[in-house]
Structure 1
């Protein structure tokens, strides 16, 4: 019978008919499996645009898919160029000092920060789908690189090997990122929840800030550990080596950077003041050191930065034991973190401008630029929030702003690197601290506490793990807590009692709607999750406890004894064989207790499996209803029209 056919729950006459719950037509296993895979890996149907197209048109569309620049470049206008030119120069003024600072944070030569702001942005401009993402190095990935590779090789004692390992880790990170995009596995990044990222970023920012005490205080020796205990011990065990000149300079420039950022936040149209502040600090700091010869009085400077563009580094990649394992681990962790940040930033700004970016295409683009970058003396890059925010506020129109930035960095590499000789390290530390303070989002943590205490626990777990142990430990703790929460949700799904809202046929949770009326002789339970092996035993026990509580309550009030148990299956999207066995056991148990089990609104997947397992024949399809209202009506009809021995023929089973 079809979905619109009528069926009566008994042989007697009824005033109102109910709709039979239809069983979907059978679907071959391989077809069902294919549809599941398609929905998992190709929900956006990327091949849709290739249908009904000529071979030449398909070739062009294929090139545009992997090289979006071929799509927007023909429509590029002079108005766009003017906007992108301003944005590109603005982000270059931020990229140059940030690049040098983050390279120092990664224990790499400062020039690598400029190399990494030249080649990767050019690759992303061709392959990226975001108009606002500004490519460059990021503090968290830099810290991870220094921390994880530092466990294998001391950067100070063997800088060349450390540099080669950094290139190799970047290569592996790019392979991972591009593979996730090509294999449509972008959903893996979604396992890093918002709460995890908030706590992880705040913890990493705290660690980075503490690491900068070395530069602020002018210390020559410092711990390679990242936990707060080791850092503070390293700082306070060398009090006699603190240099007040460096400290005064650092605090002064940090104050300048924070004031300009505060002003730009209060007056968004003056965003360029905050964006230019790092480069201004570098220029002023370099002039101050040059004029006062402060480098002779304990203020450390960058020193020589060689001229010239990126040298090839493909031959420097290390694929031999024992280093390959460390590089692979570093590449995987830094790659996922960088990918999560880049995609999150890209999607955020795309939402503001009302356009869509393809997450899988972004992964391919970010992965490719890191693979290419590792072959041209670059270390890990992505789309940092600070640089992308400046790009967005500067009015960029397309990814051409990345090209403009790359050209500015190229000119710097060719002609201006000698000017950075007198740049004080303490200014770079102040730039990093200023940027990192923006990553400690305490307002988001407070919001998590107010909305979801478990999410707050995930956030704090990530933060404490990063600050008191290591970046890797913090990430593992946060992901572990998130997975435990997911498992708890699956293993202990919510069940609730439903009642009838007055003057309606609507049934809702009696805890949420205290005015909802209980139906005499009928217990209505809602199951709020799929039924799997992990929760089937719990659900059986919980439903039986609901029945016991309801019967005790009815006995205490002297009202009609319980006759029916209705399970609202609306939220049960799927069920496995353990779940079906649970329903069969539950049916037998309720019948032994003189109760009738009734199902309401089971979905298509449930009906297919219940039909194949013969459970429908066992329960009787006349006891499965389209809505809770129809199920209650049928039960009331039975209670009021049938004789006791007719209404409970299962008592003697």
Structure 2
């Protein structure tokens, strides 16, 4: 079973030198994007830059050992970084005010922030691991597409607002750092006159170069050399050289990257800091897990399908959980799969998880030897990299809105816009909380309604029965006088059986489910009910008890009840529950024979 729980045991013995060469190239290409992204995304989390690299190193390495996807690129990701940063910012506010009137030093603020981030990474890892162990791999389908798109769009707008201020070089106050996105936007607009010209020129120039390279790649898709250009790395190197040569930091007051600790992470058990809120950290960890799992599993499945191999959602959850838990002990904040880097990994034709391991090794080398050379890198360029990456999150939104409008899915369209607006006007936490709550409410509501159809006899053939509201165009089914024919199309269990009695009453009164209950009943009194159980393959104890009560109520009203096409398992449950003693007969093979029997009885 080692192959199942530790996938590297399965693929490494058969690994070839040819595949290794390809994976080294893919790992290098991804690392060229990951290192600049890690440095950029760390600013979203309010952590020192090295923690972004720790997040790019440890979870990526662990996932390479345990993950089932050959193409999923682990590490820091924009949405997860924003959620982590939102938690860190809220905890920092309490930490700073708790030390009043003394203002804590920057070192103590950095240590506190890192402690909060590693604590939430541990919670995220443990929660994800538990979900995988208990086989909750289906959770990626629990959040509706419109809710998720609304949250992603809102979060992207929030990030763009925050990073635009840095791109333009507008000075920041502590009040702005702890404000809502809406107040942040108002502050930026009102202080546009304080834009730092040189910072804006360098940052916008970097953003323009990134967009130019993207456009060239999109135009010349067959030029493999162009597709393999590490655009983000090129921009970082050029900006650093220009900043150094022009002395942007010393002579033009451009905020630069500065000196950063370039050592490898050290082991330290995560814990909740003294002024931290355990409840907030745990709730944020659960939220981050929901978003990270959805994104990662979707990406893993997509590239597995493209490359004709299988991934296990449950094993992916275990791998993601262990990666985050181990990463938390080495200074990493929550990490999940990235769509952009996974796409790059696939384009580089990665052959196995070895490409991720190579990427992690290159990140470690960057930690040890590259950071000193980034001293002169303008921080506005890092903000431009974030703007470029996050703007891609908005690229699918117009198409989604147009599609929902075209198919007149008004509720989905409203949900998307509402969650997006709440994320921007209130906070990212509000947006994701609403997305999860509304999605789960929709799932519960729809699973609470049993799929049943009211059938009528075909005018073409007495032995054919069709749904009253869904018959073929060639047939117009008619109600059988005094008989309610109901088809149950799914297994009954405690959640969906509760509404069965109310829906049967409505069918009995109006003949369909579309009539408003305020109208007067229009059906003749029911003398018999025929349940067609062709789709009901199982029934649990709670649902069986509800069904027995329904049959008993019909029997008390002298309404005969028969069941047709009962499967073997349900037949056994009916016999055990003594359904016949309550008045329910269940030995009929089709609706026609049941109606013949009822005609004799009635």
2:258 corresponds to which residue?
A: 303
1:524 pairs with one of 485, 498, 511 = 485
Q: Please list the CA deviations of residues 274-333 of structure 1 after superposition, one character each: whole Å capped at 9, or x if unmatched.
A: 86111111122222222323333343211112333x231405744656444443333332
1:256 pairs with one of 200, 209, 212 = 209
CA separation in 2, counterparts of 1:379 and 1:464? 27
CA separation in 1, counterparts of 2:348 and 2:179? 35
1:205 corresponds to which residue?
A: 156
Secondary structure of 1:158's counterpart equals helix
Alpha-carbon distance, 1:620 to partner: 4.8
Q: State whether structure 2 residue 116 is matched by structure 1 residue 192.
A: no
CA separation in 1, counterparts of 2:523 and 2:230? 77
1:55 corresponds to which residue?
A: none
Q: Please list the CA deviations of residues 461-481 of structure 1 after superposition, one character each: whole Å capped at 9, or x if unmatched.
A: 432332222222212211211
Q: State whether structure 2 residue 54 is matched by structure 1 residue 115.
A: yes
CA separation in 2, counterparts of 1:337 and 1:616? 50
Q: State whether structure 2 residue 429 is matched by structure 1 residue 468.
A: no
Question: Against the structure 1 CA distance between its residues 378 and 582, is the aligned structure 2 distance closer, same or farther, given a 3 Å change threshold?
Answer: closer
Secondary structure of 1:423's counterpart equals coil
CA separation in 2, counterparts of 1:426 and 1:75? 46
Q: State whether structure 2 residue 245 is matched by structure 1 residue 245.
A: no
Normalised TM-score (structure 1)? 0.79
Look at both structures and tell me which one has the larger radius of gyration over its CA atoms.
Answer: 1
Q: State whether structure 2 residue 532 is matched by structure 1 residue 568.
A: yes
Q: State whether structure 2 residue 588 is matched by structure 1 residue 625.
A: yes
Instruction: Report how many residues are paired.
Output: 571
Q: Please list the CA deviations of residues 220-262 of structure 1 after superposition, one character each: whole Å capped at 9, or x if unmatched.
A: 3152357431221221232332223322333332233233324
2:308 corresponds to which residue?
A: 354
Bigger shift: residues 315-324 or 149-158: 315-324
Question: Against the structure 1 CA distance between its residues 537 and 373, is the aligned structure 2 distance closer, same or farther, given a 3 Å change threshold?
Answer: closer
Q: Please list the CA deviations of residues 50-80 of structure 1 after superposition, one character each: whole Å capped at 9, or x if unmatched.
A: xxxxxxxxxxx32x33322121111111221
| 8 Å CA contact retained: 2:60, 2:73 | yes
Secondary structure of 2:370's counterpart equals helix
| 8 Å CA contact retained: 2:563, 2:584 | no
Bigger shift: residues 388-397 or 608-617: 608-617
| 8 Å CA contact retained: 1:128, 1:365 | yes
Secondary structure of 1:279's counterpart equals helix
CA separation in 2, counterparts of 1:226 and 1:510? 57
CA separation in 2, counterparts of 1:243 and 1:454? 44
2:33 pairs with one of 84, 94, 105 = 94
Secondary structure of 2:12's counterpart equals helix
2:400 corresponds to which residue?
A: 444
Secondary structure of 2:315's counterpart equals helix
Secondary structure of 1:300's counterpart equals coil
Q: State whether structure 2 residue 466 is matched by structure 1 residue 508.
A: yes
1:483 corresponds to which residue?
A: 440
Alpha-carbon distance, 1:563 to partner: 5.2
| 8 Å CA contact retained: 2:38, 2:52 | yes
Q: Where does structure 1 differ by over 6 angstroms across 4 or more consecutive aligned residues?
A: 558-562
Question: Against the structure 1 CA distance between its residues 604 and 326, is the aligned structure 2 distance closer, same or farther, given a 3 Å change threshold?
Answer: same
Question: Against the structure 1 CA distance between its residues 549 and 172, is the aligned structure 2 distance closer, same or farther, given a 3 Å change threshold?
Answer: closer
1:374 pairs with one of 328, 332, 335 = 328
Alpha-carbon distance, 1:550 to partner: 4.9
Bigger shift: residues 230-239 or 418-427: 230-239
Question: Against the structure 1 CA distance between its residues 208 and 116, is the aligned structure 2 distance closer, same or farther, given a 3 Å change threshold?
Answer: same
Alpha-carbon distance, 1:451 to partner: 7.7
Unaligned stretches of 5+ residues in structure 2: 97-105, 516-521
1:171 corresponds to which residue?
A: 122
CA separation in 1, counterparts of 2:467 and 2:539? 23
Secondary structure of 1:136's counterpart equals coil
RMSD of Structure 2 on Structure 1 (CA): 3.2
| 8 Å CA contact retained: 2:115, 2:273 | no
Q: State whether structure 2 residue 182 is matched by structure 1 residue 229.
A: yes
2:510 pairs with one of 533, 536, 549 = 549
Question: Against the structure 1 CA distance between its residues 566 and 392, is the aligned structure 2 distance closer, same or farther, given a 3 Å change threshold?
Answer: same
CA separation in 2, counterparts of 1:387 and 1:379? 18
Secondary structure of 1:152's counterpart equals helix
CA separation in 2, counterparts of 1:574 and 1:226? 54
Pairing 1:418-457 to 2, within 5 Å after superposition: 418-440=372-394, 441-442=396-397, 443-448=399-404, 450=407, 453-457=410-414
2:341 pairs with one of 387, 398, 407 = 387
Normalised TM-score (structure 2)? 0.85
CA separation in 2, counterparts of 1:363 and 1:248? 43
| 8 Å CA contact retained: 2:562, 2:584 | no
Secondary structure of 2:186's counterpart equals helix
Alpha-carbon distance, 1:89 to partner: 1.1
| 8 Å CA contact retained: 1:198, 1:445 | no
CA separation in 1, counterparts of 2:550 and 2:272? 61
